[in-house]
DNA sequence: CTAAGTGCAAAGTATTTGCATTGCG
DNA sequence: CGCAATGCAAATACTTTGCACTTAG
């Protein structure tokens, strides 16, 4: 079974170039959802210079192969995350903008049922909750 | 109670200018989720010329006042819909790109519970389902 | 060896903004 | 009247693309 991004990259028939190895490394070292520019900065910190064009092309290629998932929380820059880390949804902190990941089996099941009710086969979903931290002290 | 977009516009202390009346009219006549350019075209058909800058500024103002809601289905152009029409979620047809609206009280309740479990007060949410029409004949 | 991938700079989209002018309240 | 809103064009933000060069397989 393929676990790492590079394994899946190879499985997909994509060449394992130095930039791709670096982008994969940055993504796997990230616990958040970096955008293209952030990926470049993180690579730079690690001593690797990446062209933004390459990053965009690579992210698109990875996404098309189902290796990464694209997120668009705010309509600004697109952010990416490893698709293999298992599906989860997001709660966005309205105060800080922080993104909290969560999973809920009930939600998954319910969405499946709703899609079926509408006459559709569910192929994916995105759920974003927006909230403020409860001021319980 | 304020029902129309213009009523809420006035409530919010925004001036009721001709372009705003037109944008409101176009939105209220739309059953889909138009983007800025589409709004301009629809206004044009109705014989009203709108500057794109004005449309963008108006949409942003309306959104900030909670009159409209911004959607970003594909990461491309932002789309807008009347916030007062009651909350609903979206199912996007993967074949045609068509957007189907739906409401499900169970989903609403479940999301509320999840947010609470995470220690958050839910202030909004977006749910997008992606699917293909069931080929049942 | 050769098709896929890269970097650069230029081109595309989508959206925002400066500024002089207009018009709602 | 005065300040908010408008239109235009220029500016910005993000992403894509053409092209010549490099490199993985």
B41-92 residue pLDDT tens: 999 999 999 999 999 999 999 999 999 999 998 888 999 999 888 789 999 9
The pLDDT value given to residue B64: 94
Chain-chain contact of B114 with A128 (C-beta, under 8 angstroms): no
The pLDDT value given to residue A7: 95
Q: What is the CATH number of the domain that holds A43?
A: 1.10.10.10
Give exposure, A60-96, as e/b (b: 16+ Cβ within 10 Å). Answer: eebeeeebbbbbbbeeeebbbbbbbeeeebbbbbeee
Q: What is the CATH number of the domain that holds A108?
A: 3.30.1490.190
- B39 and B103 co-located in one domain: no
- A93 and A39 co-located in one domain: no
The pLDDT value given to residue B73: 87
- Count the domains in chain B: 2
B116 near A CB under 8 A: yes
- A122 and A102 co-located in one domain: yes
- A65 and A15 co-located in one domain: yes
Give the structural domain span for A13. 5-82
- Of B72, B123, B134, Cβ closest to residue A121: B134
A63 and A70 in contact (C-beta within 8 Å)?
Answer: yes
List the helix and strand counts (H, then E) for chain A: 5, 5
A66, A82, A98 — which closes off a domain? A82
pLDDT grade for A131, boundaries at 50, 70 and 90: very high
The pLDDT value given to residue A2: 58
Name the least confident of A83-97, B44-58, B114-128. A83-97
- B95 and B41 co-located in one domain: no
Long-range contacts of residues A26-33, Cβ cutoff 8 Å, at least 24 apart: A27/A68, A27/A80, A27/A81, A27/A82, A28/A4, A28/A82, A32/A99, A33/A71, A33/A73, A33/A79, A33/A80, A33/A81, A33/A99
- A45 and A78 co-located in one domain: yes
B116 within a domain of the structure (yes/no)? yes
CA of B79 to C1' of C20 (A): 31
- A24 and A76 co-located in one domain: yes
The pLDDT value given to residue A137: 53
A11 touches strand C (CB under 7 A): no
A137 within a domain of the structure (yes/no)? no
B96 near A CB under 8 A: no
Of B116, B86, B115, the residue nearest B103 (C-alpha)? B86
pLDDT grade for A76, boundaries at 50, 70 and 90: confident
- B76 and B100 co-located in one domain: no
Mean pLDDT, range B11-19, rounded to an integer: 95
The pLDDT value given to residue A68: 95
The pLDDT value given to residue B111: 95
- B102 and B123 co-located in one domain: yes
- A66 and A103 co-located in one domain: no
- B58 and B95 co-located in one domain: no
- A77 and A15 co-located in one domain: yes
Mean pLDDT, range A56-83, rounded to an integer: 93
B37 and B50 in contact (C-beta within 8 Å)?
Answer: no
């Amino acid at each position: 079974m393929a676990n790492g991004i590079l394994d899946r990259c190879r499985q997909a028939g994509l060449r394992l170039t130095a930039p791709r190895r670096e982008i994969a490394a940055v993504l796997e070292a990230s616990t958040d959802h970096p955008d293209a520019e952030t990926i470049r900065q993180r690579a730079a910190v690690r001593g690797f210079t990446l062209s933004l064009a390459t990053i965009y092309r690579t992210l698109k290629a990875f996404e098309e192969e189902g290796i990464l998932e694209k997120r668009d929380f705010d309509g600004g820059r697109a952010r990416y995350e490893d698709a293999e880390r298992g599906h989860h949804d997001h709660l966005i902190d309205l105060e800080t903008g922080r993104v909290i990941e969560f999973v809920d089996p009930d939600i998954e099941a319910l969405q499946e049922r709703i899609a079926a009710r509408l006459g559709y086969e569910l192929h994916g979903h995105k759920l974003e909750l927006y909230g403020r931290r409860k001021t319980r002290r």
